[in-house]
A and B are shown apart, each in its own frame.
Chain A
Amino acid sequence: MDPGLLAQYVMNGLMLGMMYALVAVGFTLFFGVLDVIQFSHGDVLTVGAFVALATYIGLRSAGISSSPILLLAMLVVAIGAIATLGLLIARYLVLPLRAAPALNTLLITLTLGTVLRESVRLFYPQGADPKSFPALLPTSSINLGQFNLRLDNVIMLAAGAAVIVGLQLLLNRTKLGLAIRAVAQDEETARTMGINFTAIVLFTFALGSALAAFAGIMNGLYYNEINFGTGLLLGVIGFSAAIVGGLGSIYGAILGGFLFAGLQTIGAVALPFAGAYKDVFAFAVVIALMAWRPTGLIREKISERV
Chain B
Amino acid sequence: MLPGAAALALATVYVIALLAVEKQPLVIGLLALAIVAVLGADRMGLLASVSRSFAEREDTLGALAILAAFVVAAFFHDNHFVLLLVVTVLIYAVAALGLNIQIGYAGVLNFAGASFFGIGAYTAAVLNAHTAVPHLLVLPTGGLIAALIGSLLLLPVLRTRGHYAAVVTIAFALLFKTFLEVNDVLGGPQGLHVQGMNIFGWSLNDNMAVGDIDLSFYLGYFVVSMAMLVGAFVLVRRLVRSWIGLNLDAMRLDETAAGCFGLDVARWKIIAFTLGNFLIGFAGALFGMVGGFVAPNNYTFADSLLLVSILLLGGIGNPWGLAVATFIVVVVPEKLQTIQEYRFLLYALLVIAVLLFRPEGLLPRPMRRYVAGWRP
A251 within 8 A of B: no
Q: Are B170 and A107 in contact (CB under 8 A)?
A: no
Contacts of A100 on B, CB cut-off 8 Å?
Answer: 355, 359
List of A residues within 8 angstroms of B14 by Cβ: none
Interface-facing stretch out of B152-160, B240-248, B284-292: B152-160
A103, A243, A304: the one contacting B109 at CB < 8 Å is A103
Bound Cα distance from A16 to B84, whole angstroms: 44
Say yes or no for A57: interface residue by CB 8 A criterion.
Answer: no
Task: Kindly state the separation between the CA atoms of A291 and B160 in the bound complex, as whole angstroms.
Answer: 7
Within the assembled complex, what's the spacing in Å between the Cα atoms of A247 and B156? Answer: 17
Q: Is A158 an interface residue (CB 8 A)?
A: no
- Let me know if A111 and B355 touch, CB within 8 A: yes
* Smallest beta-carbon distance B269→chain A, Å: 12
Q: Are A283 and B352 in contact (CB under 8 A)?
A: no
User: Bound complex: CA of A96 vs CA of B357, how far in Å?
Assistant: 11
Q: Are B171 and A240 in contact (CB under 8 A)?
A: yes
Q: Is the Cβ of B163 less than 8 Å from the Cβ of A247? A: yes
Known: A280-B175, A286-B171, A290-B167. A111 touches B351 (CB 8 A): yes
> Counting CB contacts under 8 A, is A178 at the interface?
no
- Contact residue among A119, A287, A296 (Cβ-Cβ distance under 8 Å from B171): A287
State which residues 108-124 of A face B: CB under 8 Å.
108, 110-112, 114-115, 118-119, 122
Q: Which of A67-75, A201-209, A271-279 contacts B (4 or more CB under 8 A)?
A: A271-279
Q: How many A-B residue pairs have CB under 8 A?
A: 124
Q: Which residues of A contact B164 (CB under 8 A)?
A: 243, 247, 290, 294-296
Q: How far is the CB of B267 from chain A (nearest CB, A)?
A: 16
- B93-120 CB mask vs A (1 if < 8 Å, else 0) is 0000000000100000100000000000
Q: Separation in Å of the A113 CB from the closest CB of chain B?
A: 8
Of the stretches B1-9, B20-28, B199-207, B301-309, the one at the interface is B301-309
Contact of A102 among B155, B162, B179, B356 (CB under 8 A): B162
Q: Please indicate the chain A residues that have their CB under 8 angstroms from the CB of B175 in the complex.
A: 279-280, 283-284, 287
A291 and B159 form a contact (CB under 8 A): yes
Task: Verify if A147 is at the interface (C-beta below 8 Å from B).
Answer: no
Chain A: CB-nearest residue to B349: A115
> Are B301 and A290 in contact, CB atoms less than 8 angstroms apart?
no
A283 touches B163 (CB 8 A): no
Tell me which residues across on chain A come within 8 A of B359, comparing CB atoms.
97, 100, 104
**A295–B234 CA distance with the chains assembled, in angstroms:** 38
| In contact, A236 and B301 (Cβ under 8 angstroms) | yes
* CB atoms of B171 and A304 under 8 A apart: no
Q: State in angstroms the CA–CA spacing of A31 and B345 once bound together.
A: 26
Give Cα distance in the complex from A95 to B189, angstroms. Answer: 41
Q: What CA separation (Å) do A100 and B359 show in the bound complex? A: 8
Is B178 within 8 A of A122, CB to CB? no
Given the known interface contacts A283-B171, A294-B159, A294-B161, the answer about A111 and B352 at a Cβ–Cβ threshold of 8 Å is yes
Q: How far is the CA of A10 from the CA of B277 in the complex (A)?
A: 40
Chain B, residues 225-252, CB within 8 Å of chain A (1/0): the string is: 0000000000000000000000000000
Q: Mark A132-176, 1 if CB is under 8 A from B, else 0.
A: 000000000000000000000000000000000000000000000
Q: Could you say which residues of chain A place their CB within 8 Å of the CB of B344?
A: 114, 118
Residue of B nearest to A279 (CB): B178
Minimal beta-carbon separation of A191 from chain B (angstroms): 24
Contact between B305 and A236, CB atoms less than 8 A apart: no
Q: How far is the CA of A279 from the CA of B175 in the complex (A)?
A: 7
Q: Are the CB atoms of A291 and B161 closer together than 8 Å?
A: no
CB–CB A283/B172 < 8 A: yes
The answer on a CB contact under 8 Å between A118 and B348 is yes
**Distance between A89 CB and nearest chain B CB, rounded to angstroms:** 11
Across the interface, do B352 and A290 meet the contact criterion of CB distance under 8 Å?
no
User: Which one of A102, A104, A115, A232 lies within 8 Å of B348 (CB-CB)?
Assistant: A115
Interface residues in B137-168 by Cβ distance below 8 A to A read: 153, 155-156, 159-164, 166-168
Interchain CA distance A115-B356 in the complex, whole Å: 15
- CB-based contact B345/A122 at 8 Å: yes
A306 within 8 Å of B (CB atoms): yes
**A287 contacts B351, CB within 8 Å?**
no
Contacts A287-B156, A290-B168, A294-B161; A276 near B182 (Cβ below 8 A): yes
Contact check, A287 vs B168: say whether CB atoms are below 8 A apart: yes
Other-chain contact of A119, B167, B168, B308, B345 (Cβ < 8 Å):
B345
Hey, which chain B residues are within 8 Å of A118, CB to CB?
Answer: 342, 344-345, 348
Q: How far is the CB of A36 from chain B (nearest CB, A)?
A: 9
Cβ A290 vs Cβ B356 within 8 A: no
A284 to B312, CA, bound (A): 28
Q: Which residues of B contact A280 (CB under 8 A)?
A: 175, 178-179, 182
A306 to B157, CA, bound (A): 12
Instruction: Please state if B166 and A106 are interface contacts (CB–CB under 8 Å).
Output: yes
Q: Is A64 part of the binding interface, using a Cβ–Cβ cutoff of 8 Å?
A: no
Shortest CB-to-CB span from A88 to chain B, Å, is 13
The interface centre, meaning the residue of B160, B171, B312, B344 with most chain A CB atoms within 10 A of its CB, is B171
Q: Which residues of B contact A97 (CB under 8 A)?
A: 355-356, 359
The interface residues of chain B lying within 8 Å CB-to-CB of A6 are: none
CA distance A104 to B309 in the complex (A): 10
Q: Does A56 contact B (CB under 8 A)?
A: no
Docked complex: A220-244 residues within 8 A CB-CB of B: 232-233, 236, 239-240, 243
User: What 10 additional pairs, Cβ within 8 angstroms, besides A283-B175, A287-B153?
Assistant: A97-B359, A111-B305, A115-B349, A240-B167, A240-B171, A276-B178, A286-B167, A287-B172, A290-B171, A294-B159
Taking Cβ atoms with an 8 Å cutoff, the residues of A that contact B are 31, 37, 93, 96-97, 100, 102-104, 106-108, 110-112, 114-115, 118-119, 122, 232-233, 236, 239-240, 243, 247, 274, 276-277, 279-280, 283-284, 286-288, 290-291, 294-296, 304, 306
Listed A/B pairs (22) with beta-carbon separation below 8 Å: A93-B356, A97-B356, A100-B359, A111-B309, A111-B348, A111-B351, A111-B352, A111-B355, A112-B348, A112-B352, A114-B305, A118-B342, A239-B170, A240-B171, A247-B163, A276-B181, A277-B182, A280-B175, A283-B171, A283-B172, A290-B159, A291-B159
